[in-house]
Amino acid sequence: MIPPFVDAGWVVSHRDSLVIADVRWYLDGRSGRDAFAKGHIPDAVFVDLDEMLAGEPGHGRGRHPLPEPADFAVAMSRSGIADDSIVVAYDDVGGVIAARLVWMLRATGHDSAVLDGGLDAYPSDPETGVSRRYLARFTPREWPSELLAGPDDLTGPEVLLLDARDPERFRGAHEPVDPKPGHIPGAFNLPCRANLGPDGSLLPAESLRRRFEEAGVSTAASVVSYCGSGVTACHNLLAMELCGLGAGRLYPGSWSQYCSLEGMPVEQGDPQR
């Protein structure tokens, strides 16, 4: 399997054997599809986070629950992604959104990677309009239970909770979308956007590893990664894999599910560990 992140030079040299997926999405409600139409990597396909990478939201489920495997397979097929496709996904925020598609594909045994640096890193002028899609064969596969966590899996001495949201949301000082501010008690705030350098590219693997080790991660096997709705949490999981820490677990419901469940304790501020 290819690494979870690849640079633009790798993409250019393998371009004829890749499917490139644009996974732009914005928390503030802007349209990723409109951004795609205004300019994208040539021949890329647009993969809609809400429609293709998530099931129906709802009370007790979170904003972006994982879709049913059959629904995900249909979405991939209609995007021209086949069982044997090698997929490189990008966005315009350093890969923190594109990581959701990449994690979903890798978790089900498919070759996929985030384009390091995103749209701006690709060495060609953007293409406008909508790319043509070809129906492909993509076989449904169950989400692997060993890579997932639920509300009952968030406590215990063997669990290290990493919250990938920005510090303001973690502390509860700012909550733009979910009904309650704060974080899951005992979580450590490791913002996924801090995995990136000033130019929007991924930090070197050794720097990433130091970040995780400073958060108490010696192996990703102990980690449950969450965020607002199970999207940007995938970036931390892929970064841990890249720097040799192994595979952690995703809490797909994340804060949007947790804070909607009755009786769940909520913490605010910067807890000391």
Active-site amino acid positions: 227
What ranges make up the beta strands (E) of 129-185? 160-163
Q: In what order do the strands lie in the sheet with 18-22?
A: 5-6, 112-115, 86-90, 18-22, 45-46
CA distance 168 to 96: 17
- Residue (of 55, 202, 247, 223) closest to 153 by Cα position: 223
Q: Say if residues 116 and 170 touch (Cβ distance below 8 Å).
A: no
CA atoms within 13 A on the CB side of 251: 29
Tally the residues of the chain: 273
Cα(137)–Cα(265) distance, integer angstroms: 44
Q: What 3-state class would DSSP assign to 68?
A: coil
Residues linked to residue 181 through DSSP beta bridges, in sequence order? none
